[in-house]
Each structure stands twice: as structure tokens, then as C-alpha cells.
Structure 1
Amino acid sequence: MFAVINLISLRILRYRFTLIVTFYRLLATMLYLYVAYVKAYRKQVISINLRQSFQGISLKREQQLIRGYYRHICDLLVEPFMASNLGYSSIGSIVQYKNLQLLNELFEKKKDVILMLAHYGNWEYVNTLPAVCNYEIIAIYAPLKNKFLHDNMLRLRKKFGLKLVCKDEWHKVIREKREKPALFIIIGDQRPALEKHSLEFLNQKTYIQIGGERIARMKACPVLFLDIERTRRNHYVYDFQLITVDASKEEHLFISKRYFQELEKVINNRPELWLWSHRRWYTESYVN
């Protein structure tokens, strides 16, 4: 009897998973048709970014990457909702974490850990990390002007136990003393407000934020880079890679340089998965 009930339950879960994934894939496809062929969303910015990053790129390859980017960004828009509706039982079907043992080893040292990721692949899926580990995981967020969108994005991001901190409270939370170490998630590839620190990235001078490095040096803690690989549609593999075990012992900008070196590798491998539609570089080529 129990075996029959278990079999029925498994089939229901399987059908539910298939229905949810199919619905969101259809929604993403419709979004793609609008974004690519009606709106041509920020196509000029995307084109400029690609040409400057991949010098000598052919028109055919450029158009291929633009279409691939549009497909990816439309999937990215629906994937947080899909993950939320699938719930804990189906996380393993869309997300896989590699090298979790490295996290365990670092936390055994009783120090906080800085996890640096980028706007590559699906960085939003990282909100599922609390479902597979027992550590406090903290991420920063910037409030959205639209209250409906703001409330829903917070709900989606907190679904699996991620602790969210408003950017205005970030430095206060970073300095708090805790009974147990925590993992701090920092996205490091945004364009900085001030043109102070720069390096060579994607074949051009790039100004960078070094907030993640500063925090890590202050806390004398380990720093990890999160490598994100899309293995199939809506499915991502996250691999934790060690940059340093003690940021305070590294030279100035060592962590930032390593971070951008690793990011450049993954972008060159699958260019369409990075966020090309934003004005990342200071250039007069962009047209308002």
C-alpha cells in the first residue's frame, strides 16, 4: 500500500515539475519574440559592448550572440519564479552545487567567507544555496522604485532562507560580531561610481569596484569565486573556486585581478550568458 502511494506521489511530482517548467519556458519564448523582434531591447548598447570586447568579431557572430543573449535574458527573467514554484523538492533538478566541501573546510576555521559572483549565467539561483548548506548566507540588495516588484523580488530571493540586507545597512551588518561565521555574497562586476581603480578586462581598460576586496581584507577572511555553468536550459552548475584563504595577506588588488581573470574566462567560454545590455564601460560610443 505504501509503495503504491509513494509511486503515485512521485508521478504527481514529476507531472507537476513538467507542467511548471513547460509553462515558464513558453512564457520565456514569448518574451524572447517581443524583446528580440519587437523591442530590440538595448540592441545598440549590446552591439557596442560586444564589438569592443571581441575586436574583429564578424557581423554574423555578433548577431548570433545578440540572439543568444536575448534568449538567455528572457529565461533569466522567469527562472526565479520557476524555482520558487518548484520548491525544495525539485531544486536538484535545476541547480547543482559543486565543491561544497570547500565551504565546509573554510567554515571550520571559524571565519566569515566572501563569495564573489557576477552578472553571469543565473546569479539569482544562488538564493537556493541555503537549501543545501547550514550556514547563514547574507546578500545585499538595492530597493526597487516599484513597490509591487520590490516586494515580490524580496519574497522570491528569501524563499529558501537567504538573508537580505539593504545596501544602506550593508557596512553595519558586515561589521557585526556573530556567534557563527556567515557567507557574504558580493557581485563585483558593476560599473563603479568613481573612476579610481582599473585593469584590463575583455580587451579594454575597465574601471572596477573593489568593495568586496576591501571587506575581505578587513575581515582577514577567505574569498571564493563562483563559476557558473549552464549545462542545459534552466539548469546551472555552481562551482566554488578559492581565490585566497586570507585576504589580508594578499597584495593590493590581487583579489580583484583574480576575480576579473576568472570572470573573463567564463565569459569567453559562453559570451551570451553575461549581462551585455548595460553600459559597463565609460565610453562615448553609447548613444542615449
Structure 2
Amino acid sequence: MYYVVYGFLWLISLIPFRILYVISDFIYGFVFYVFKYRRDVVMKNLLIAFPEKTEKERLKIAKQFYHNLIDTFLESIKFITISKKQIEKRSTADFEMVNDLTDKGYNVHIMAGHQFNWEFGNLLASMKLKAPFAGIYMPISNKHLNRIFYNFRKRYGTILISATEYKNNIAHSVFSSKYTFGLAADQNPGNPSNSYWMNFFGRPAPFAPGPAKGAVKNNIAVVFVGFHKLKRGYYYFSTKLLTENGASFAPEQLTLLYKNELEEMIKKDPANYLWSHRRWRFEWKPHYGNIIS
């Protein structure tokens, strides 16, 4: 069955981008109007994040979000066969600062959010960063799709570490030498009582403590990366140094810095964030501790 799925997706990956986006627009009609995939979740999240906008404005953001979501999925299939030349043509990044930190002897944690298209960012990072690039990934429930995505994500050298391996501190050879480490730090944590609670767009939301704790414990430089969709199929990845010395911050304050940067990035381009993710799934309770600000 794996080879049937792979063969089908491989054929799709050969379709030129311009035709792929025609297909994307066709799929959008079904996803948004017929199946209404997580539409209630998306609209509820947008109401929380942008209560000052009108219903019409939020609906416009939602529609563009669904276009971006489907574009991202189809672009990801293209990565099965995409060349380095195409990746470099369609994505650029301000990685000079990260490479300068590597030259100075620092390990670097790249903290990003679920913005589109993170798959382009992963492949470009593995091609352009001087230090070996390791990325955290969440396995896909379908084992065939997971295998396909796993293989294209590591095509150009990315070292993949599952979220379970990272959470359980399973040793990995990459951490024994210089490295750059990337992860989307806005995932819902598994245990809301063991999280950093912060106001995310004005409503309490939990943030996993692991990313910042690792940077503080090992005194690692931390860089925030923002994703910018320039137009269909073209992306720019900006960088901002949060600290050269992770140990100079308490982990909750480092997480707060990250959260603030992510919020500002989302406000600049609301449709480029993963609104189908249940970010406010958990409700804050007093015994979780104070809301960090």
C-alpha cells in the first residue's frame, strides 16, 4: 500500500506549480464550502484573536487561511521531487546571523510558529545553515504518509527527532557537537498543569516549557524565525536574535519573548497562521500558577 500511495503522490509532485494552484483552488471549494473542515474552530480562534475586526473581515482571513493551508499541503507533495534550485528560487532566508553565531562557537535554537510554509523553511535551513540542522517533528497518524513526509523532510540533510524522543530526552548524536536546532514552539503541551501560561492574543494559553528550558540549561543562543508568504509558492524567512546566552534568562521569560514575537508576526499576516489548531483548547485554572506577563 505504501508504494501505491507514494506512486500517486510522486506523480502529483511532477505537476507544475501553476497547475497545482489551479487544483488547490478547486480543492478549496470543497474544503471550505462543502466539508467545512474545522470551520467552527477557525472562526472561533479568529474571534478570540481579532475581536475588533468585523465578521466579514474575519471571514476574509479565514478564506485566505484555507487557501494557504491547501497550498502548503500540495507544495509539500512537490518536495518529493523538488530540486535544490527550485527551493532556492522560491524561498530565501536571513540566515547570516545564525551562521555568524555558529562561527562564534554557539549552538543555536531556532524557535518558530506554525506559519506557512514551514516545510520550505525546513529544507532551506538544511541547505543554508553551516551547522547540522535538527528539527522536531510530530509523526503523522497515517503510517504511509508519515514515511513519505519523513523521507522528503530529510532529503537535504535535516536530522529529524520525533516529539516523543525530544520530550523523553532520548540522546541523539547531533547534540554531541555543534548544531542548529529548529522547532515550532507553539504546540499545545500535553500537560496544561506543567506549562507556562501566558495571554496569547488576550486569552490565557499554555506554552510547553521544554524549548526554553533546554536553551537555558545549556546556555544556547535563541533566534526567532518569522515566515512571510510573498506570493503563492514564494517565501521569505526572517530572523531575530532573542539572546546569545540562554542562561541569562529564566525559561518562562524566554518563552514570553518568543510568544510576543509570534503574536506580532501573526498580526502582520493573520491568514498565514495555522488557525485550525485548537490553540485555546485548555482553560487556565488557578492551581496552574500565575499567568506570566
User: Structure 2-normalised TM-score?
Assistant: 0.85
Which AA in structure 2 matches 1:235?
Y
SS at match of 1:161: coil
Following superposition, the deviation at residue 142 of structure 1 comes to: 2.8
| Helix, strand or coil at the partner of 1:92 | helix
Indicate if the aligned counterparts of 1:42 and 1:277 stay in contact, CA closer than 8 A: yes
Q: Distance in 1 between matches of 2:139 and 2:14?
A: 33
Contact 1:80–1:124, Cα closer than 8 Å, also in 2 = yes
Equivalent residue number for residue 26 of structure 2:
30
Q: In 1, are the aligned partners of 2:223 and 2:240 still within 8 Å (CA)?
A: yes
Residues 60-97 of structure 1, C-alpha deviations (whole Å, 9 max, x = no match): 11211111111110101111222443311222221101
**1:65 correspondence with 2:64:** no
The one-character-per-residue Cα deviations of 1:123-182 (angstroms, maximum 9, x if unpaired) are 11122212223321111223333221111111121122111122333223368652x410
Q: Which amino acid aligns with 2:45?
A: N
- 1-structure distance, mates of 2:27, 2:265: 26
Q: How does the TM-score come out when normalised to structure 1?
A: 0.86
Deviation sequence 1:158-214 (CA, Å, 0-9, x none): 122111122333223368652x41011121111122224211111211211121101
2:7 aligns with none
CA contact (8 A) 2:99 2:130 kept: no
Structure-1 residue corresponding to 2:4? none
In structure 2, list runs of 5 or more residues that go unmatched. 1-12, 284-293
Q: Report % sequence identity.
A: 24
Determine the structure 2 residue equivalent to 1:263: 262
**Residue matched to 1:122:** 117
> Which structure's CA Rg is the greater one?
1
The question of whether the paired residues in 2 share the 8 Å contact of 1:127 and 1:161 is answered with no
Distance 2:206 2:121 in 1: 26
Residues 1:183 and 2:147 aligned together? no
Aligned in 2, Cα 1:159/1:221: closer, same or farther, shift over 3 Å? same
Pairing of 1:198-217 with structure 2 (within 5 A): 198-217=197-216
Q: CA RMSD in A?
A: 2.1
Per the alignment, residue 290 of structure 2 pairs with none
Residues 125-140 of structure 1 mapped to structure 2, 5 A cutoff: 125-128=120-123, 129-140=125-136
Identify the residue that residue 150 of structure 2 maps to in structure 1: 154
Please tell me whether the aligned partners of residues 142 and 166 of structure 1 are also in contact (alpha carbons under 8 angstroms).
yes
- Partner letter of residue 188 of structure 2? R
Contiguous gaps of at least 5 residues in structure 1: 1-16
